Structure 1
Amino acid sequence: MQQKYLKNAGLIALITILSMIPPLSTDLYMPALPEMTAYFHTTSTLMSFTMTVFFIFMAIGILILGPMSDKYGRKPVLIASISISLIFSAACAFAPNILLLILARGASAFGAGGMVAISTALIRDSYEGKAMSKVLSVTQAFMLIAPMLAPVLGALILEVADWKMTFIVLAALTGVSLAGAFLLEETLPVKERTQSSTLQSILGLRKVAKNPNFTSLLLVGAIIAAPFMAYLALASYIYIDGFGVSETTFSMYFALNAAASILGPVMYMRFGAGSVKKAINAGIIVSIISAVLILTVGDVAPIIFLLSYILYSVVTSYFRPLISDLLLSATKTDVGAASSVMNFGFTVIGSIGMVVGSLGWSSYTGGLGITMLIFISITILVWLFVLKAKSIKFDWK
């Protein structure tokens, strides 16, 4: 389907913004958490729950709104999703108490879930082969960079305004994506939409999840990338509390790692997967090296920690478009449902990685390294099972 108003460049820009908004929603207000805790006269635990609620309801939105787009089309469900996210993101800025803030965060997250699922479905609807690989690489790069740069942007906002402005800025960015959604030409023709009821469409997720090829690849990609979420939760503590650097210096290290993360999607866009088996094997080996370096010398100096972790950042940022490309290429029908299962898997398993990384480790750096080794070990077990399972048929080259 040709895009009359957006053209190809506009469509890619829209998909990129849709991919960036959800991670921005979770991390943009991170620097304001202490200020918000005092404003609402609540505890840090309850304030942190606003982030947990976001992940829970975003996962629900992914599961429900993705399949709905298979039935009703991408454009109307996308417009509804963005509108919900926009309205309730703005509502967060005017929440009079912590309870209403949590409710508004949950509602905005539900809409964000639709944005995540449908942005991926738009790629599968609109592109094939190498073109799809390139678009996936671009959007995945920005989706990885967004949560890393969001705290930096949030800190800059707090220099000129209070915490409420972070949610107003978020609502404004969401408004940009809404304008793009109105210009979007529908990518799923009526004849290709599912004819089952909405409930049956949602229950159809089981059909996708029961596909051994799909779920095995998803598990490999999601499990090895899970410690990335642990890094987001621990980075400020590692640099500021552990190494004693300033907030400004921390932002510089954070940004350097974000810049390095671009290499993964760029490498995938330039060279492709090659041998999938060799790529995954190499990724696992480099991840192990990174984890061992963090555990042994990672706490010596911030620059050494940065260089040790960058190896893993590049691997995970390469794996995301690789796994997404393989999964979407193998999906011919129920693309919205497949997109939902894929993004749900990455979200939930990533959240588990965040929880494990945030446990009461004696050292923040050591906790991150151990978390990485735990998930890498599980990845190896799953990968060995995938290679030996006769029920899983895939050309690993």
Structure 2
Amino acid sequence: MEINDLKKQKYLGDKGMIVLIAVLSAFIPLSMDVYLPALPTMTEYFRASQSIINLTLIMFFIFFGFGTLFWGPLSDKHGRKPIVLIGLSIYTVASFLCSLSSSVYLLIAFRALQAFGGGAASSVATALVKDVYSGRKRESVLAVVQSMVVISPAVAPVVGSFLLNVTSWRGVFVAQALIGISALAGSLALQETIVEKSSASVMRTIGRLGVVLKNMRFTSLLLIFSTMSIPALAFITASSYIYQENFHLSSQVYSYYFAFNALGMLFGPLIYIRLSNYYKRTTIINTCFALTIISGLLISLVGSYSPPLFAVTLVLSTVSGSAMRPPSAFLMLEQQQGDTGSVSSLMGSFATVMGSVGMGIVSLSSNNQIAVIGVLNIILGLICGAVWLYLSSRPYLKQATAD
């Protein structure tokens, strides 16, 4: 099924709409990854410990989770366009404030504000996909968007390293502010996609989150696939320290290794779309969980020997994790009729909250981060994979996974 005639975009068109959704979805990985090469420099500049500097990452994800929970339901009431414009404005101002921070604690606070605003972009992006597309077209758009999104983490560290050669870490946040301004300009061309807005009060609108969570078909899938964000974000948090301090590589060389891993994220959704022409969703997701466990074992056994070995053993779980994103997002969206903003909010917030758990775990294990990443992939791959095997055999998922 193609785009609903009532929701066609006069100014953006189909391709422009997909690009805008991808840009909005990319705010979180871009906001985090572009300044990863600067983390060791910031540790020295502020004379702060690694755990304190990592709070700029952890608090970002926590407040991003709060932001998505707040903005998503409001977009059901007030519309997608006004919410995304307000959120992007907050994000842009906060990015400039980050560049002006005089202490690490101010930076942490402004990063939290930046994340809160960015939450609007992320929650609205997923809602737009469900508003405008349906059926196989929706899943295809989810895959294309996911592939475009991960271009940002592939490019961002390289850009961050380049910026560090010509400016300080403050310039990295100025660049983020400029990205926010660009996204604002694109969002102004967006035409509203909601046919019927919620007439409930603000509190009742936000209370719809609880109604959606009572749908155990949705919530069970939400918990499974959100939990798999833990090992992924553990790696992102520790990556600059692993490559620059453990393996003694420069920030530029580190960015290349990180880009290699991000390319795995890029190909994951594309691989899924190709395989989905021949295999059921269930089979592909089962295989992804198995490969994640194998990757964890390899990381634990040989990942600490050299940078190439670590990168190669890790990319297996990276590809598997990103390949699961389109079918898992599709299945979660299919479980709930209506309350699209709330569904999108919960998908975004749970993933980031779980991701912040991974950040916290790896930050507390600074002496053995490679082994921690390997063990997380093994344990969570086994647990989530086993629960998924049980749920995928239930009647309400059999048809969806077979289509």
Determine if the TM-score, normalized by the shorter chain, exceeds 0.5.
Answer: yes
Shift in CA distance, 250/58, structure 1 to aligned 2, threshold 3 Å: same
Map 1:83-122; keep pairs closer than 5 Å: 83-122=89-128
> Which of the numbers 312, 317, 320 marks the counterpart of 1:307?
312
> Which of the numbers 331, 336, 340 marks the counterpart of 1:335?
340
Shift in CA distance, 254/36, structure 1 to aligned 2, threshold 3 Å: closer
Q: What are the superposed Cα offsets for residues 55-75 of structure 1, whole Å, 9 maximum, x if unpaired?
A: 111111100100000000101
In structure 1, the residue matched to 2:3 is none
2:58 pairs with 1:21:
no
Shift in CA distance, 149/354, structure 1 to aligned 2, threshold 3 Å: farther
Q: How many residues get paired?
A: 394
| CA distance in structure 2 between the partners assigned to 1:354 and 1:92 by the alignment | 21
- The Cα shift of 1:124 comes to 0.7
> Which stretch of structure 1 is more off in the superposition, 298-307 or 55-64?
298-307
In structure 1, the residue matched to 2:383 is 378
Map 1:169-188; keep pairs closer than 5 Å: 169-188=175-194
Report the AA paired with residue 324 of structure 2.
F
| CA distance in structure 2 between the partners assigned to 1:384 and 1:244 by the alignment | 41
In structure 1, the residue matched to 2:213 is 209
- The Cα shift of 1:310 comes to 1.6
Q: Residue 54 of structure 2 contacts residue 363 of structure 2 at CA under 8 Å; is this kept in 1?
A: no
Q: Residue 19 of structure 1 contacts residue 143 of structure 1 at CA under 8 Å; is this kept in 2?
A: yes
Map 1:320-331; keep pairs closer than 5 Å: 320-331=325-336
Identical amino acids, percent of aligned pairs: 37
Map 1:32-43; keep pairs closer than 5 Å: 32-40=38-46, 42-43=48-49
Secondary structure of the residue aligned to 2:9 is: coil
- The Cα shift of 1:254 comes to 1.7
Report the AA paired with residue 175 of structure 1.
I
Shift in CA distance, 383/361, structure 1 to aligned 2, threshold 3 Å: farther
In structure 1, the residue matched to 2:200 is 196
Report the AA paired with residue 254 of structure 1.
F
Q: Residue 29 of structure 1 contacts residue 166 of structure 1 at CA under 8 Å; is this kept in 2?
A: yes
> Which of the numbers 299, 302, 307 marks the counterpart of 1:294?
299
In structure 2, the residue matched to 1:281 is 286
In structure 2, the residue matched to 1:158 is 164
Secondary structure of the residue aligned to 1:262 is: helix
2:352 pairs with 1:347:
yes
Secondary structure of the residue aligned to 2:26 is: helix
What is the Cα-based RMSD across aligned positions, in Å? 2.1
> Which stretch of structure 1 is more off in the superposition, 268-277 or 319-328?
268-277
- The Cα shift of 1:331 comes to 3.3
> Which stretch of structure 1 is more off in the superposition, 9-18 or 349-358?
349-358
| CA distance in structure 1 between the partners assigned to 2:315 and 2:103 by the alignment | 40
Q: Residue 144 of structure 1 contacts residue 317 of structure 1 at CA under 8 Å; is this kept in 2?
A: no
- The Cα shift of 1:383 comes to 2.1
- The Cα shift of 1:5 comes to 0.8
> Which of the numbers 359, 363, 366 marks the counterpart of 1:358?
363
In structure 2, the residue matched to 1:228 is 232
- The Cα shift of 1:347 comes to 1.0
Secondary structure of the residue aligned to 2:10 is: coil
- The Cα shift of 1:113 comes to 0.7
Mark the runs of 5 or more structure 2 residues left unpaired by the alignment.
Answer: 1-6
| CA distance in structure 1 between the partners assigned to 2:294 and 2:239 by the alignment | 19
TM (normalized to structure 1)?
0.92
In structure 2, the residue matched to 1:126 is 132
Mark the runs of 5 or more structure 1 residues left unpaired by the alignment.
Answer: none
> Which of the numbers 18, 34, 37 marks the counterpart of 1:31?
37
2:313 pairs with 1:270:
no
Q: What are the superposed Cα offsets for residues 207-265 of structure 1, whole Å, 9 maximum, x if unpaired?
A: 11121111122222222342111111222333333334343332222222222222211
Shift in CA distance, 361/81, structure 1 to aligned 2, threshold 3 Å: closer
| CA distance in structure 2 between the partners assigned to 1:261 and 1:328 by the alignment | 21
- The Cα shift of 1:103 comes to 2.5
| CA distance in structure 1 between the partners assigned to 2:250 and 2:37 by the alignment | 13
- The Cα shift of 1:348 comes to 1.1
> Which stretch of structure 1 is more off in the superposition, 305-314 or 81-90?
305-314
Report the AA paired with residue 98 of structure 1.
V
Q: Residue 140 of structure 1 contacts residue 320 of structure 1 at CA under 8 Å; is this kept in 2?
A: yes
- The Cα shift of 1:349 comes to 1.3
| CA distance in structure 2 between the partners assigned to 1:374 and 1:206 by the alignment | 29
